[in-house]
Chain A
Amino acid sequence: MAAAVSMPSVSQPKSMKRPTHWSEEVEEAYRFQLAGYRDEIEYREVQRTDHIDRWPHNGFVKKLVRRDGCFYYYNKTRECPDKQINKTKLYAY
């Protein structure tokens, strides 16, 4: 709880919705959530970094560090399967 209190309010999302169709935004959220983060903002806070490896040709996330220090590598192309689309969460601030 102490950690939650000390977190700045900016990082707390105001709302969440579940997508019905695939889009690049969904893909982005899917990749972060697979690695155990809410989204890019939380990733930046937890890892204390501004650098995120992305594929140069389409900007998809390439590599993420999990909370336990392991690395997740992502494909060049779409990874989010159809049945995971509505399980992905899109947060708004």
Chain B
Amino acid sequence: MPGRSVDLRQTVPFTHLVDIFEKNNLAKPEPPLSGAFKVRDTPMTSFRKFYERGDFPIALEHDTKGNKIAWKVEIEKLDYHHYLPLFFDGLCETEHPYEFFARQGVHDMLEHGGSKILPVIPQLIIPIKNALNTRKHKVLCTTLKVLQHLVVSAEMVGEALVPYYRQILPVMNIFKNKNLNSGDGIDYSQQKRENVGDLIQETLEAFERYGGEDAFINIKYMVPTYESCMLN
């Protein structure tokens, strides 16, 4: 009951009376929120700056089938060291058209990059880390899908990511359990692939599958609740 002082000696441990006592005990300040799940704002990305300046060799489509980028030059001729980190930088964006171009640009470059992707991996880590650190739902979903695509995009990419788990995995550890317990109801985010908990599980499994023999122990170190999908 609010306002009523409770004698601790009368309370039975592990009951609601303890909670009432805790609430009424004004001398004890509430612990501050750690803000682990709080959305962080991002400063303007360099992707946006470059896009507005017209630096990217891409053209905006004004038709109804807006799921493709028209490239003005061949992707094979692009300088991956310059463009791929820039597109990854745009993963933090949530507004159209930046978000669309970043997501689709990364997709096209990974799909058609082949052996040009591997040398650029070290430059991609900071943009990936920034994107995950925003903790925005939409950005998390996009980035996780991109990571899943990245590990299968070329040979040895999965292995090359292992040394960078320390940068990438902490946020995954935070959100690994972000899932909806709806009993036997339907959770539509599963169909739409927007369930962060499931996406993280899939991503970690992809990391383990393609990361070579050191992958599991390194994932386990950063995400202790992760269980192997290959050893059992």
Contact = CB atoms under 8 A, between A and B. Distances in A.
Interface stretch (B48-56, B68-76, B167-175, B185-193): B68-76
A11 B71 CA distance: 28
Contact of B111 (A66, A70, A73, A84): A73
Contacts of B69: 73
A22 interface: no
B178 interface: no
Interface in B20-52: none
Interface string A73-90: 101100000001000000
Contacts of A68: 70
A91 interface: no
A70 B71 contact: yes
A13 B115 CA distance: 41
A71 B70 contact: yes
B98 to A, nearest CB: 20
Given A34-B65, A66-B70, A71 B111 contact: no
Interface residues of B, number: 13
B175 to A, nearest CB: 28
B166 interface: no
B229 interface: no
Interface of A: 34, 62-63, 66, 68-73, 75-76, 84
A70 B59 contact: yes
Contacts of A66: 70
B108 interface: yes
Contacts of A71: 70-75
A72 B70 contact: yes
A50 to B, nearest CB: 18
A36 B129 CA distance: 39
